[in-house]
Each structure stands twice: as structure tokens, then as C-alpha cells.
């Protein structure tokens, strides 16, 4: 049994920036983002595909980055919470989470915001049920979710009125 | 949590993947959606020496309809099935796809991977056991087609040889007077269901022309409730006969007690799920629109 296996090359675009690295195949995408790229906004919660704290977008769809090997992101576009802000201004989803008190400790928030981003890209007019379904894979232990639902509905309205395409 | 170190291989085609399995031997495993395999590797329950990644093979994710038959590519993601207009023609397939775990898992997990893993708590095998599902397999010695009931052998065990993979999943679209429903009960979205029931019912007026009932999570394999089917088949559909089918389901179930509930609780639950699924399938067979899906408290 090899203790360290042959490294493989990986080229991935994260928040618009291209990175080329050599990685161990067993390295998970979340560890690659946090340790190699020092993008620590993506959190590790349960590390068992349950909590969704590690959610990022991979080619525009939400994935749990603790359950994808980094090498599988070869050639992919990744969006993390650090990629939401544009030109020093908060993304409407970030602003809505703040305005609606959609967080308390904030640990689950980056993952929730990325799940919300996939929802609002696919469906600019989500109803309450669709919002609930979209974040069913994200666990929050503080808020009781009500203000998170409000934040996502508020972000949807803001994104529609600002013509926010992303 | 890191899995044990392994050597990574990227297959360019299904044929190449089969050749790699054959060449690399028993220590090699296929990586499809990875939503079960990667957690198992992180817990070191699965320790492949070689991992053959299928995700970079083009043309393995599709849903095609031809002469009343749906063809699913082995790497078709649950999310693609959830959104597919073709799959929506068989509501039980859409309901299943849309309820598996959560958005993130559905974006990665695949129908072929789910069947090949044969987890007793998986959703697809239970649902597909009520359909005409056939599994196309490709290996070094050629291709073969198996009925799903022949494909599934035991918990986490299929008839796939080591150097063989699922190359397509095929399901015939049921006739117009047929309706199906799948209801899985789970504690929250990302977890496996506690119990589940799938029903496909074909009606002829107020009689049941044909029926298939399958239970999930209450045995080493999904269970067909033959006695319950016999209680309904060819008969007028009455509350009493539906109750008999539910009783037969409780008897057929062989649940294990675990953190999701006691054996007796699961037995009762699966009976209730069968009744609800029959009710929804019956309404659908009669042309009514009903919404059913995974339920969680």
C-alpha cells in the first residue's frame, strides 16, 4: 500500500483566476482550496457529505467540496465565497444575508450563499418551497433558518431589479 | 479526513475503463459521482489501490427516448433526471431523482453508480424494481443485458464482474393507464431514508390490471411484495385490499434496528408508505396530477 501516491497535475480556474498545481490524488477539493490556495472562506463542517458548509460551485452547480477530489476539478471553473464580491462591493446575496440577519456564528454562511447562488441563477423567482428545497443540503445550527429564507428571497428581488446576471 | 493513498487513472472511454480494471486487478475501483464512494474512502471502509475516474468520458450522461423506451447514460446525474422532460413522463423516476439527498449530492451522484453500489438504502434500485428496468453491462468479454432483479445480488453486491461496468440503464415508459409513486421517509434531506416504498399500478376501470410493489431500506436488497401484489392484481381496488397489501408489506419487510429506528418502527412505517404510494399511484393511473416526493420531518 503506497503511503504517498504519485502527484498529478491540476489546472483549475477559481474565482476567475487560473491555478496550475501538482496534487496528491487523495486531496479533497476543500483541502486544496483552503490549504494550497489559502481560500479559507470555504469551511469544513461535518466532512461527511452532510452539512454543506463546504459548498462551492463547480461549473455553475453546487457541490460539496469535501466529497470531490481536487483532481476531479481539473479544467473546471470553481466559485467560492471569495468570488462573490465584485470590485469591492458585496454581492446582493451577501448584502441580503447581512441585512436580514441571515446568520449568527457565520460558519455555515459561505456554503448557504453558494447554494443560494445556484438557485437564483437557475430560478430568479423562487417561491418559499423552492428556497427550502435549494438549501436542504445546508445545515445551520444557530438561526432556525427563518432569516436565511428571508435573505434569499430578498436577494432574489435585489438581483432581479439590478439585472444581476451572476 | 483523507482516504488511503491511491493511484489515479482517468479513463477516456468506457472501453478504456474496462481495460484499466482488467489490467489493474482487484485493487481498482471505478469513480462515478463519488457521493458514496468518497465518504466510504474517507472512513477507510473502502481502500482502493487504484481509482479509475469515469467523469471525464464524454457522452456518458444522457436521457434518450426511443420507441417508448428511456435510455439513461451510466453517468447521468440525479439532477439531470430531475429536470428532464423525458423522465417526467414517468413521474416515479422524476420523484425519485428529485428527492435523493440534497441539491449538491444530486448534482454529482449518478444513476449507474447508484445501481452498481447496491446500497440497501439507495433509492434507485427500489424504484426501478417496479419498472421493466434492464441494466446493460460492458466488460472485457463483451456486453450483456440483465434484468435489474438479476443484476442485484446482495447488499453492496451485484453480478458485475470485477472488469465490468454499467454502460446504460433502460426503462420502458409504462402505458397510459398506469401510474407510479415512490415515497421515502427520511429524517432530513442529506440522509438515507428510514424506509421507502415504490408502487407501479395499471388500472382497467376500477380494477387493478397489474401492480408492482417494492420496499427499500428494510432488507439487504429492495424487496418485491409479491403477496401484496397478488392481493390487488385482477381485483377491484378497495380499501380492504389496499390494507391487505400493506399488511403483506409489513410481513415481507426484514428491517434491521439502527439509529434510524427499531425494526418494529420500520415495519409499521413501510406499511404506511405502501398505502400512501398505492393511493398516489392509483390517482396518477387515473390521469390525476398528484405531487409526491421524499418526506422528511
CB B174 within 8 A of CB B200: yes
Q: How far is B205 from B235, CA to CA, in rounded Å?
A: 11
Given an 8 Å threshold on Cβ–Cβ distance, is B35 in contact with A67?
A: yes
- Nearest chain B CA: its distance from A105 CA (Å): 22
Chain A residues interacting with chain B (CB cutoff of 8 angstroms): 1-6, 8, 24-28, 31, 47-52, 55, 61-64, 67-69, 71-72, 74, 115, 118-119, 133-134, 136-138
pLDDT tens for each residue of B279-288:
999 999 999 9
Q: Does domain B178-296 have CATH number 3.30.470.20?
A: no
- Nearest chain B CA: its distance from A62 CA (Å): 5
Per-residue pLDDT averaged across B118-139, rounded?
97
Q: Does domain B63-172 have CATH number 3.30.465.10?
A: yes
Task: Give which of A10, A22, A34, A49 to mutate to test B binding, by max B Cβ within 10 Å.
Answer: A49
- Nearest chain A CA: its distance from B143 CA (Å): 28
Please tell me whether residues A34 and A99 are part of one structural domain.
Answer: no
pLDDT tens for each residue of B72-116:
999 999 999 999 999 988 999 999 999 999 999 999 999 999 999
Q: How far is B81 from B85, CA to CA, in rounded Å?
A: 8
Reported residue count of chain A is 166
* Mean confidence (pLDDT) of chain B: 96
Given an 8 Å threshold on Cβ–Cβ distance, is B5 in contact with A63?
A: no
Domain ranges of chain B: 7-53, 63-172, 178-296
φ, ψ at B82 (rounded to 5°): -55, -40
Please tell me whether residues A107 and A156 are part of one structural domain.
Answer: yes
DSSP letters for chain A: --SSPPPEEEEEEETTEEEEEEE-TT-BHHHIIIIIS--TTS--SSSSSSS-TTEEEETTEEEEGGGSBGGGGTT-EEE-GGGT-BTTB--HHHHHHHHTT--SS-SSHHHHHHHHHHHHHH-SS--HHHHHHHTTT---SSS-SHHHHHHHHHHHHHHHHTT---
Q: Which residue has the cell 453558494?
A: A114
- Nearest chain B CA: its distance from A40 CA (Å): 17
ipTM: 0.96
Indicate whether B25 pLDDT > 60.
yes
User: What residues contact residue B222 under an 8 Å CB cut-off, 6+ apart?
Assistant: B120, B125, B126, B129, B152, B214, B215, B216
| Alpha helix ranges (H) inside chain B | 14-24, 37-42, 78-83, 85-88, 91-99, 103-108, 111-117, 124-128, 148-151, 226-232, 239-252, 263-285
CB A166 within 8 A of CB A121: yes
Closest CA relative to residue B190, chosen from B281, B66, B99:
B99
By residue range, what is the domain housing residue A63?
Answer: 8-83
Strand partners, B158: B152
Domain closes at, from A83, A111, A137: A83
User: What residues contact residue B15 under an 8 Å CB cut-off, 6+ apart?
Assistant: B138
- Cβ-nearest to B7 among A6, A63, A69: A6
pLDDT tens for each residue of B209-261:
999 999 999 999 999 999 999 999 999 999 999 999 999 999 999 999 999 99
Q: How far is B226 from B251, CA to CA, in rounded Å?
A: 11
Closest CA relative to residue B179, chosen from B203, B196, B215, B197:
B203
Indicate whether A4 pLDDT > 80.
no
Given an 8 Å threshold on Cβ–Cβ distance, is A68 in contact with B189?
A: no
B/e letters for A10-21, b = 16+ CB within 10 Å, e = fewer, are bebebbeeeeeb
User: What residues contact residue A13 under an 8 Å CB cut-off, 6+ apart?
Assistant: A19, A76, A77, A78
Quickly state the pLDDT bin for A5 (edges 50, 70, 90).
Answer: confident
Number of CB pairs, chain A paired with chain B, less than 8 A apart: 100
Q: How far is B260 from B191, CA to CA, in rounded Å?
A: 10
Degrees, nearest 5: CA angle B116-B119-B122? 100
Residue A146 placed within a domain: yes
- Classify domain B7-53 at the CATH class level: alpha beta
Given an 8 Å threshold on Cβ–Cβ distance, is B5 in contact with A25?
A: yes
Domain closes at, from A56, A83, A110: A83
Residues of B in contact with A129 (CB under 8 A): none
Q: How far is A154 from A95, CA to CA, in rounded Å?
A: 9
Please tell me whether residues A72 and A103 are part of one structural domain.
Answer: no
Residue A3 placed within a domain: no
As separate numbers, helices (DSSP H) first and strands (DSSP E) second, chain B gives 12, 15
Residue A79 placed within a domain: yes
B/e letters for B124-140, b = 16+ CB within 10 Å, e = fewer, are bbbbbbbbebbbbbbbe
Can you give the pLDDT at residue A1? 47
CATH code, domain carrying A142: 1.10.150.120
| Region of residue B61 (phi > 0: left; psi between -120 and 50: alpha; otherwise: beta) | beta
pLDDT tens for each residue of A39-75:
999 999 999 999 999 999 999 999 999 999 999 999 9
Residues of B in contact with A24 (CB under 8 A): 5
Amino acid at each position: 500500500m503506497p503511503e504517498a501516491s504519485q502527484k498529478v497535475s491540476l489546472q483549475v480556474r477559481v474565482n476567475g483566476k487560473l491555478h496550475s498545481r501538482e496534487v496528491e490524488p487523495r486531496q479533497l477539493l476543500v483541502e486544496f482550496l483552503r490549504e494550497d490556495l489559502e481560500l479559507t472562506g470555504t469551511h469544513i463542517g461535518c466532512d461527511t457529505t452532510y452539512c454543506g458548509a463546504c459548498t462551492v460551485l463547480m461549473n455553475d452547480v453546487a457541490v460539496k467540496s469535501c466529497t470531490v477530489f481536487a483532481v476531479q476539478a481539473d479544467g473546471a471553473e470553481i466559485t467560492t465565497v471569495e468570488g462573490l464580491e465584485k470590485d469591492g462591493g458585496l454581492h446582493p446575496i451577501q448584502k441580503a444575508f447581512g441585512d436580514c440577519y441571515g446568520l449568527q456564528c457565520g460558519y455555515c454562511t459561505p456554503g448557504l450563499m453558494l447554494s443560494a447562488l445556484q438557485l437564483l441563477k437557475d430560478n430568479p423567482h423562487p417561491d418559499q418551497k423552492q428556497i427550502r428545497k435549494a438549501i436542504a443540503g445546508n445545515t445551520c445550527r444557530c438561526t432556525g433558518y427563518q432569516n436565511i429564507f428571508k435573505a434569499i428571497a430578498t436577494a432574489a428581488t435585489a438581483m432581479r431589479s439590478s439585472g444581476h446576471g451572476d | 479526513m483523507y482516504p488511503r493513498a491511491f493511484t489515479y487513472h482517468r479513463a477516456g472511454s468506457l472501453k478504456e475503463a474496462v481495460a484499466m480494471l482488467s489490467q489493474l486487478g482487484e485493487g481498482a475501483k471505478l469513480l462515478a459521482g463519488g457521493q458514496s464512494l468518497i465518504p466510504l474512502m474517507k472512513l477507510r471502509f473502502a481502500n482502493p489501490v487504484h481509482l479509475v475516474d469515469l467523469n471525464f468520458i464524454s457522452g456518458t450522461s444522457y436521457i434518450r427516448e426511443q420507441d417508448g423506451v428511456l435510455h439513461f447514460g451510466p453517468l447521468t446525474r440525479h439532477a439531470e433526471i430531475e429536470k428532464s422532460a423525458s423522465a417526467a413522463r414517468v413521474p416515479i423516476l422524476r420523484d425519485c431523482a428529485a428527492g435523493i439527498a440534497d441539491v449538491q449530492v444530486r448534482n454529482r451522484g449518478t444513476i449507474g453508480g447508484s445501481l452498481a453500489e447496491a446500497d440497501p438504502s439507495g433509492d434507485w434500485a427500489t424504484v426501478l424494481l417496479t419498472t421493466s428496468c434492464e441494466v446493460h453491462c460492458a466488460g472485457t468479454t463483451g456486453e450483456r443485458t440483465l434484468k435489474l432483479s438479476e443484476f442485484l445480488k446482495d447488499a453492496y453486491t451485484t453480478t458485475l464482474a470485477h472488469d465490468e461496468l454499467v454502460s446504460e440503464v433502460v426503462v420502458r415508459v409504462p402505458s397510459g393507464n398506469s401510474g407510479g409513486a415512490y415515497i421515502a421517509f427520511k429524517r432530513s434531506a442529506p440522509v438515507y431514508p428510514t424506509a421507502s416504498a415504490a408502487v407501479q399500478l395499471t388500472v382497467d376501470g376500477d380494477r387493478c390490471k397489474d401492480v408492482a410493489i417494492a420496499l427499500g431500506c428494510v432488507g439487504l436488497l429492495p424487496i418485491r411484495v409479491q403477496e401484496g401484489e397478488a392481493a390487488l392484481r385482477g381485483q377491484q381496488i378497495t380499501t380492504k385490499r389496499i390494507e391487505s397489501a400493506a399488511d403483506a408489506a409489513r410481513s415481507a419487510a426484514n428491517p434491521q434496528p439502527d439509529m434510524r429506528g427499531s425494526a418494529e418502527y420500520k415495519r409499521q412505517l413501510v406499511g404506511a408508505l405502501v398505502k400512501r404510494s398505492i393511493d398516489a399511484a392509483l390517482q396518477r393511473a387515473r390521469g390525476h396530477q398528484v405531487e409526491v416526493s421524499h418526506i422528511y420531518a
